[in-house]
Amino acid sequence: MKEGYLDFEEYIRQGEPDKKEKASIWQTAIGLQAVDGLKTSDYLKETARKHIEGDIDIDQARELIKTYYQSKSVREPDDEEKQEADKVSANITKILSSKTFDFSTNGFISLHRRIFEDVFKQAGKIRDYDITKKEWVLEGDTVNYLNFEDLRRAIKYDLEQERGFSYKGISQDAMITHLSRFVSGLWQIHAFGEGNTRTTAVFTILYLRHIGFEVSNDMFAQHSWYFRNALVRANYKNAVKGIDYSPVYLERFFRNLLLGEQWDLRNRYLHINPTKEWSEQRNLNTPTSTRTSSEQVPEQVPEQAQCLLRPQNPLVLGLIKVIGEEELSITQLMKKTGLKHRPNFIEYHLNPAIKDKLVQMKYPDSPRHPRQKYLLTAKGLAYLQKNNNTIRL
């Protein structure tokens, strides 16, 4: 492997659990630096490779990075930015490798300290001044962040409200809406002078794991800049310009993250004055669908297309009802259908349902994804809603 090059996806595909997990975490930690326009050094990538291979542990990796910058004799113009990106990436990797989580005001503040240890002098310190930030997606305008006098009290209030919220029995749409509102509100507090989005992202990953979600790290690794701009749009309102708070973009990030949807997460959609080409965000699985979690209505199917929603294969019909509104692995599907012969199940149940565009993979670009699951398409959901009472297993 050449110096400065690290193929995370290759490690993730190899199937060795320890290397896969380490590579996934490093990928997320490095990807999160993009929220502040930072890029890691080749030395960081080589150090990460040694950690993934098991040659060093994470604390040794952090010490190597620290020593590298202390002993470096030739300085480069972007050394300061790379040093921040390298050290923060290593710190985040250590945090995400741990199974501990402190869901409290002190825990949130401590998380900032742990992420930016040996990087910011004010790491773990709440800001004592008010801030504004010019945003590209807002054409240079700023979100109205919370005044500095109320920061600790606001964090405590938001966390207490979330702690008392029950997810039991609510729909997926309601869950996404609530999570988006919680994360958006926590970010809008902007408790620290620097590093708020990275702290919010790491806290969100830890919290989602804490309450039972399987979080795919690659979403934060590949779309961290979108995540930040979606937070900006969720917290920006300008009555004069006719712009209201727009949480839909953040909801779509979480729909991709937690429900396996395929919204096109490109930042141009988030601009307050997008061009015509970027005025309507696409769902790559269902290009004609513009449904959002806030609408909470089933996609309408034209009458002339109803014939497409009448599959005759009883094995496929039964599979549609088994899946329902869930996301299930092949093992789970076979258990629910009572079938034991995997090749036959795939050939006569699953593949025909996929071919008829009634069922889809959660990770269509990675058929052998270790967390691969299957869910109904919009077409499959429409059929289920219309014919649920008549389908027999």
The whole-number pLDDT of residue 357 equals: 86
Tokens 């996934």 found at: 24
One domain, residues 320 and 255 = no
Of 87-96, 108-117, 287-296, 334-343, minimum mean pLDDT range: 287-296
Tokens of 68: 């590298």
Question: Under a CB-based contact definition with an 8 Å cutoff, are residues 101 and 206 in contact?
Answer: yes
d(CA 12, CA 287): 29
d(CA 39, CA 32): 10
- Of 47, 67, 98, the residue at which a domain comes to its end is 98
pLDDT at residue 296 above 50?
A: no
- Whether 23 maps to a domain, the answer reads yes
pLDDT at residue 371 above 90?
A: no
The whole-number pLDDT of residue 6 equals: 59
Q: Which residues pair with 375 in a beta bridge?
A: 360
| Of 297 and 225, the one with more pLDDT | 225
- Of 227, 261, 287, the residue at which a domain comes to its end is 287
The whole-number pLDDT of residue 219 equals: 85
**CATH code of residue 199:** 1.10.3290.10
One domain, residues 308 and 232 = no
d(CA 110, CA 116): 10
Give me the mean pLDDT over the 122-149 stretch. Answer: 95
Tokens of 281: 């965000």
The whole-number pLDDT of residue 161 equals: 96
Of 94-98, 172-176, 290-294, minimum mean pLDDT range: 290-294
Interaxial angle between packed helices 196-210 and 79-97, expressed in degrees from 0 to 180 and rounded to the nearest 10: 10
Give me the mean pLDDT over the 99-116 stretch. Answer: 96
Range of the domain at 323: 303-390
Q: In 211-358, where does DSSP find H-type helix?
A: 217-222, 224-234, 248-259, 314-323, 330-337, 342-345, 351-355
pLDDT at residue 237 above 90?
A: yes
The whole-number pLDDT of residue 369 equals: 78
- Can you say whether residue 212 is alpha, beta or left, with left for phi > 0 and alpha for psi between -120 and 50 degrees? left
CA–CA distances in Å: residue 187 to residues 44, 131, 202, 204: 28, 13, 12, 10
One domain, residues 355 and 370 = yes
- Whether 219 maps to a domain, the answer reads yes
- Whether 298 maps to a domain, the answer reads no
| Of 392 and 57, the one with more pLDDT | 57
The Cβ-side half-sphere exposure at 15, using a 13 Å CA radius, reads 2
- Whether 149 maps to a domain, the answer reads yes
DSSP 385: H
The whole-number pLDDT of residue 314 equals: 73
One domain, residues 260 and 113 = yes
The whole-number pLDDT of residue 10 equals: 74
d(CA 251, CA 180): 6
- Whether 197 maps to a domain, the answer reads yes
State which of 96-110, 203-217, 365-379 shows the largest mean pLDDT: 96-110
**Closest to 230 (Cα-Cα) out of 175, 281, 191:** 281
Question: Under a CB-based contact definition with an 8 Å cutoff, are residues 197 and 228 in contact?
Answer: yes
Looking at the chain, which runs of residues are DSSP E strands? 359-361, 374-376
One domain, residues 184 and 256 = yes
The whole-number pLDDT of residue 2 equals: 39
Give me the number of domains the chain comprises. 3
- Of 68, 98, 128, the residue at which a domain comes to its end is 98
One domain, residues 141 and 273 = yes
> CA torsion sign, 339 to 345 to 350 to 356?
negative
pLDDT at residue 308 above 80?
A: no
Question: Under a CB-based contact definition with an 8 Å cutoff, are residues 199 and 115 in contact?
Answer: yes
Of 54-68, 168-182, 322-336, minimum mean pLDDT range: 322-336
One domain, residues 259 and 110 = yes
Give me the mean pLDDT over the 102-116 stretch. Answer: 97
Tokens of 265: 């997460």
One domain, residues 169 and 252 = yes
One domain, residues 221 and 325 = no
Interaxial angle between packed helices 172-189 and 196-210, expressed in degrees from 0 to 180 and rounded to the nearest 10: 140
- What are φ and ψ of residue 301, in 5° steps? -110, 125
- Whether 377 maps to a domain, the answer reads yes
Per residue in 319-368, pLDDT (tens digit) is 888 898 888 989 889 888 888 888 888 888 898 889 888 899 988 877 87
One domain, residues 363 and 385 = yes
- Whether 296 maps to a domain, the answer reads no
Give me the mean pLDDT over the 293-314 stretch. Answer: 43
pLDDT at residue 310 above 80?
A: no
Question: Under a CB-based contact definition with an 8 Å cutoff, are residues 12 and 23 in contact?
Answer: yes
Mean pLDDT over each residue of the chain, to the nearest integer = 86
**Which pLDDT band holds residue 279 (cuts at 50, 70, 90)?**
very high
| Of 337 and 3, the one with more pLDDT | 337
pTM score of the predicted model: 0.71
Instruction: Round the CA-based radius of gyration of the chain to a whole number and report it.
Output: 23
**Which pLDDT band holds residue 115 (cuts at 50, 70, 90)?**
very high
The whole-number pLDDT of residue 347 equals: 83
d(CA 170, CA 250): 19
One domain, residues 341 and 246 = no
**Which pLDDT band holds residue 388 (cuts at 50, 70, 90)?**
low
What percent of the chain has pLDDT above 70? 87
The whole-number pLDDT of residue 83 equals: 95
- Whether 295 maps to a domain, the answer reads no
- Tell me if residue 238 falls in helix, strand or coil: strand
d(CA 183, CA 203): 9
One domain, residues 125 and 12 = no
What percent of the chain has pLDDT above 90? 60
